[in-house]
Structure formats: C-alpha cells, structure tokens
Structure 1
Amino acid sequence: MKKNIAIIMGGYSSEYQISIKSGNVVYNNLDKNKYNAYRIHIFENKWVYVDTFDTEFPVDKNDFSVLVNDIKITFDCVFNAIHGSPGEDGFMQSYFELIKMPQTSCNAYQAALTFNKRDCLSVLKPYGILTAESYYLNLGDTVNEDEIITKVGLPCFVKANKAGSSFGISKVHKKEALQAAIDNSFKEDDEIIIESFLDGIEVSVGVITYKGETKVLPITEIVSENDFFDYEAKYLGKSQEITPARLSKTQEDKVNILAKKVYNVLKMKGFSRSEFIFKDGEPHLLEMNTIPGLTNESILPQQAAKAGITMSELFESAINEALK
C-alpha cells in the first residue's frame, strides 16, 4: 500500500523561494509507485495543500490533515524541505513530535542548536572542533568598532546569526564599512556573529543517514567568482562547485573524520551539510545546515550523485529512516 507523504516547503524567512524549489524537486523525484506525494505550503498566514491545479486546501493543524472534496487525507510521514524558519530552527520538528508524526529532518533540539551559529560553535569547541575567531552582537548593543577589529581582524565576515543562503552576510575590508555591514545583518536577525577571515580552501561536506548508516558524501570544493560564497555564487552560477574537491588524501581524511564527528556529537539524523575552510592545513568549521538545498543545482544532490545515489534513492532513504 502506498504511503502518503507530505512535503512541507516555503517557510517564514528570505529562503522561502529556494525552499519551494527544493520541495518541488522532492515531489517530482519521489517514486509514484510507492508514494502519494502532497505539496504542503507553510507560510505565516496559511498552511495549505496545493494540488496539481494550484488549488489550495487548508491544513488542519490539530492533526496535520487535509480535507479534499469531503475526503480526509492523513499522512504517514512528512518530508521537511523548509530552509530557515520554521523548518530548520526546530519549530516544525517540535510540532510534529507533539502530534507523533514522523518527519525526515533532525530532532527539534538539534535543529534549534545548529540554526543558531553562535550556540552550535560554542557546543562543539570543547570537542576540539576548530573555528574562526568570533565576536557576538545583539540588537541594541553598543558597537565598539575598535574592540571588534582587535578581536577578529580585517577582513572579517559579519553574519546574521540565524539565517541561511548567505542572507545578511557581508565581507568587511575596512573599518569604515563595518557599521553598514552590521546594520545589514540586523535586517535578517536580532543577533549577529562577526568572524575572522580564514584564507584557505573552502569545502562543503554532506553527511547523511543512508540505509541505516552514517555516510559522508564526496566533498565539494567551493570556488566563488565573487568575494565570498554569497547568494549569487550559491544560486546564480557565480561559483565553481568542484566535486570531488581537489584535496590531498590527508586533507580529505581530516575533513571527513571531522564532519562525521560533528554529525555524531550533535546526535544528528537526516541530511546535513557542513562548511569548512582549511587554515594551516586544518579544517575549521563555519556552520552546519540541517535542511540543505535540494534543487537540481544544490550541493548535496551533486554529492549524492557522485556517490552513485539518485535523487529518488536519496529521498526514499530519508523517508524510510523517518518511518523507523
């Protein structure tokens, strides 16, 4: 008997359009012989099932069901394709946990922790995970530019603490540009993180639970045409994403071991993609994404393909893990 799968997409953040693309890729690649797939759009003003004619049917939040032509549809599993809030920060995970609905992403605590860059890096440091030098600011704090530059140096990166797809991020080369970068980050979040610039090879490492095992996917090297791996570089073709990365065997082993360690230390499940930069031969962790992009251009599907895993196999494994 076919399983009913709700693919949630959209969300409340600047990443909602990318999420819609990811969700549609999942929808188009699920095996129709095994699954009845339903596209569920989650927005602040509505949760709706969208059929093939773009007709919308409201979701009953009491049990996450949908009434279509007087027939109640319930779901066996939720495939989470929401980048940013509320799909990547723990809110949807908590909701599904409360109603006992299996879902494909990590659990609520892990989602909330990894979505908060500052908290995640703080938790991992005692395990010997190397990171950039950092300085934290909350909205309303006094900005002491000299203190910031003394701590992290120039150039530096100013980032929204809880945002993805490089929204709210700037590379600052001189003191005069620091305040504008801080203001830009505060448009995305009320917390920001300012980090030292790490000059080295940047790589992205996918770690997933696949057929019951923790699997590190082939590494992707990021070579941006822009000043850093920003939105244009990620989504508008302004970068080279080289899989497998051009690393030495030593570098490859180091980052593979480290990425798997981070995944296991945080007790992750589902998909993840961690970003590292090599400094003095050692990988330094930038961040972890727990709902990485799943579009045809996205890094994780590229890595899975290099590992001989099709989109359908990748998504089916995630559903099977959730249903366990």
Structure 2
Amino acid sequence: MKNIAVIMGGYSSEYQISIKSGNVVYETLDRQKYRPYRIVITAERWFHLTDDHREIAVNRGDFSVEIDGETIFFDAVFNAIHGSPGEDGLLQAYFELLGIPQNSCNYYQAALTFNKRDLLAVLRPYGIKMAKSFYVNKGDVVDFEAIVDTVGLPCFVKPNKSGSSFGISKVKDKAALPEALEVAFAEDHEVLIESFLDGTEVSIGVLRIDGEVKALPITEIVSENDFFDYEAKYEGKSQEITPARISEELAEKVRAAAIKAYTILGMKGFSRSEFILVNDEPYMLEMNTIPGLTKESLIPQQAAVAGISLQDLFTNSIEDSMR
C-alpha cells in the first residue's frame, strides 16, 4: 500500500479552488492501492489535515509527517495546487531534490507554462497559431496608442501568471485600458494584452496513458458572460459541451496542436490547453498544467465522455509518475 500526499492550497487567489480539487482527489483515490493524506500548503505553514480535522505540521526537511508517534514518508505526491507554488515549478523542484515522484510536469515545464508570455514565445516558432500580443511590466510608461495599434480593439488584458480567469478584462474602448491594467497588476507584475479572436472557444486535455500521449475529448465553451471568466467557470454561467460541436477535421487539428505542444515541451502529467477556433484554424491561448479537478472542471468532464472514471484517471497519473 503506497502513501500518497495529495497537496492542495497554495499562495494564490486560486486557494479555495485548489482545496476543492484536492478534496476530490483525496476522496476518489483507490483505497485498495493507496493510503492518501491531505497536505495543505499555505504561505504561513504546511500541515496534514486528518479526517478528524487535526492539523499536523509537515517536516519540510524531508516532507514527512509524524502521526501518533509514527513518521510517515510518501511514495508519491499528487499535486492539486493551482497557481504558486504548485503550478510554477517551485514544488516540482523541491520534490525532485528530495527524490519524491510527483504527478505533474517537471519544474522547468511548470515555470515555462505558468508564464503565458514565455510559453507562447517558445511555441510560436513551431507553427502553433496564436493571437497578436503586447507586454507591459509594472512600472512601465504605458503607450496606449501602441497597444491599440498592435492588438486592436476589443482586446484582452491578462495577468501573465495567474489562473481561473482572475484579473482578466475584456476591453472594448481605449479609455478602459488603464483600469484593466490595474486589475491585472493586482494579480501579477507582468501583463499580457492580446487581440480578441472572434470564434469558438474549446478546451482539450492531454495526458500520458500507459506511456502514450493521448488527447481527451474536446470541450466547447459557450459563456453567458463576455468571456470564459471566473463566474462562467465556477458559478454555472457557461455551457460546456463535450464533445465539441465541430467537424472531425477541425477536431483533429485541435488534437494535433495540443499533442504537438505537449510533446515539444517534454510534458508529463495532465495538461489542459485552451484554443479559439477562427476560420477553421485553432489559435492557442494557454496551457494549464494543474487543471481543475472539481466536479465542475473540464478534465473530469472530458474523462467521463472518454469512458475513463476519475479513479482510473488519478491512478494512471500516480502510476505514470512512479514509472
């Protein structure tokens, strides 16, 4: 029986979503194979949360916990932390130094994909299509004319490193750009401004199953709001249709682009990539390496359509990490 640490929490605005994802993993893991432990990581402290709600400190020197006089070491880590330090490479590097397998991508890939700007710069030369973009760092003198000339209006203003659509604004008028930048800078000191792509938004999961890279069914996203924002993602303000209502020819282009990006980057674990389909071509927006695993999340929806239970999905992920 293997001891599995399910890590959740984190330092970002996505803390509560991560707790939800982590609890889904904790409740779903196969008790015939694994002995799971909830490990909550916050900026102040790391602790094991027991079923009777005791909080037991984690020894960060070797990532162990002492429960009723017994020291528990972990055979593998299931990472359910969205945002820092679980999605940006910090914990991946820590576990690599300790020699503990973890189920998400490695630290370099995590840091790269968490930085939308750098991810797109790496993938662009490989022919993966993407929106026009403009970058602003906190403290820069902002040339609003240059932004509009480069990306046009409407445009999207996004924190470079954040998830769950925190800090994103759709800007239709140049006068609204300063406020949108302020909202984005509340999440990150780097901001990415992208041209608006008028098309169908889709999301696709990619993972390794028995050592082979495979794509899950594609989800079409129809938001009731102006875009797929936090409300649309987590508060039911969207329709998520799996499989997407697109031609098989276009679906194959999306699968090929998602698998190509995953392979180019040398990924492992889950990824979930977002695309906008314009004139029968997929344009990549971003890649998430710790996608949501709540009941409302897209990867569980896609796995269900593929006939993969959540338990099998999580088992495959753990076994792949320990291979």
TM-score by length of 1: 0.99
- What corresponds to 2:110 in structure 1? 111
Distance 1:210 1:66 in 2: 31
Any stretches of 5+ residues in structure 1 without a counterpart? none
Q: Write the mapping of 1:294-305 to structure 2, written as runs, cut at 5 A.
A: 294-305=293-304
CA–CA distance in structure 2, aligned partners of residues 15 and 94 of structure 1:
21
Shift of 1:281: 1.6
For residue 82 of structure 1, give the secondary structure of its aligned residue in structure 2: coil
1:16 aligns to 2:15 (yes or no)? yes
Q: Deviations over 1:12-58 (max 9, x none)?
A: 00001000000000001001111110000000100000000110000
Residues 47-196 of structure 1: pairs in structure 2 closer than 5 A: 47-196=46-195
Q: CA deviation at 1:68?
A: 1.0
Taking the TM superposition and a 5 Å limit, the aligned residue runs for 1:306-321 are 306-321=305-320
**Where in structure 1 do 4 or more consecutive aligned residues deviate above 2 Å?**
none
Alignment coverage as a number of residue pairs: 323
| Post-superposition offset of 1:176 | 1.0
- Cα distance in 2 for partners of 1:34, 1:88 equals 26
Equivalent-residue separation in structure 2 for 1:209 and 1:49 (angstroms):
29
d(CA) in 1 for partners of 2:104, 2:295: 19
Distance in 2 of aligned mates of 1:182 and 1:30: 41
* Partner deviation per Cα, 1:168-191 (whole Å, 9 max, x = no partner): 100000011110000000000000
Match of 1:217 in 2: 216
How far off its partner does 1:167 sit? 0.4
Equivalents in 2 of 1:174, 1:42: separation in Å?
40
CA deviation string 1:195-241 (max 9, x = no partner): 00000011001001122211100000000000000000000000000
The separation in 1 between residues aligned to 2:41 and 2:28, in whole angstroms, is 20
Q: Counterpart of 1:176 in structure 2: which amino acid?
A: A
Cα deviation, 1:234-269, whole Å, max 9, x if unaligned, reads: 000000000000001111111111111001000100
Code of the aligned partner of 1:226: N
State how far apart, in whole Å, the 2-side matches of 1:210 and 1:82 are: 22
Shift in Å, 1:131 = 0.5
CA distance in 1, matches of 2:242, 2:279: 22
Partners of 1:219 and 1:253 in 2: how far apart?
Answer: 10
Deviation, structure 1 residue 158:
0.0
Unaligned segments of structure 2, at least 5 residues: none
Instruction: Say if 2:291 is the partner of 1:285.
Output: no
**Matched residues, percent identical?**
63
CA–CA separation in structure 1 for the residues paired with 2:98 and 2:129? 38
In the other structure, the counterpart of 1:252 is 251
Tell me the distance in 2 between the aligned counterparts of 1:73 and 1:97: 19
* Equivalent residue letter for 1:299: L
> In the alignment, residue 220 of structure 2 is paired with which amino acid?
E
Using the alignment, how far apart are the partners of 2:210 and 2:222 within structure 1? 31
Alpha-carbon distance in structure 2 between the residues aligned to 1:160 and 1:21 = 23
CA distance in 2, matches of 1:237, 1:213: 34
Deviations 1:263-294 (A, max 9, x none): 10001000000000012221000000000000
Describe the SS at the equivalent of 1:111.
Answer: helix
| Whole-Å separation in 1 of the counterparts to 2:7 and 2:210 | 22
Distance, in Å, in 2 between the alignment partners of 1:172 and 1:60 is 46
Secondary structure at the residue paired with 1:66? Answer: strand
Letter in 2 for 1:270: G
Task: Please give the alpha-carbon distance, in whole angstroms, between the structure 2 residues aligned to 1:278 and 1:322.
Answer: 33
Aligned to 2:56, the other structure's residue is in SS state: strand
**Structure 1: distance between partners of 2:175 and 2:292:** 34
Secondary structure of 2:293's aligned partner = coil
Which secondary structure state, in structure 1, belongs to the residue aligned with residue 184 of structure 2? helix
Question: SS where residue 276 of structure 1 aligns?
Answer: strand
Query: What's 1:323 paired with?
Result: 322
Mapped pair 1:263 → 2:285? no
Structure-2-length-normalised TM-score: 0.99
SS of the aligned residue for 1:62 comes to coil
Within 2, Cα distance between the matches of 1:167 and 1:188?
7
| 1:143 counterpart letter in structure 2 | V
CA distance in 1: counterparts of 2:103 and 2:253, whole angstroms: 28
Equivalent-residue separation in structure 1 for 2:119 and 2:314 (angstroms): 26
* Aligned equivalents of 1:266, 1:323: Cα separation in 2: 20
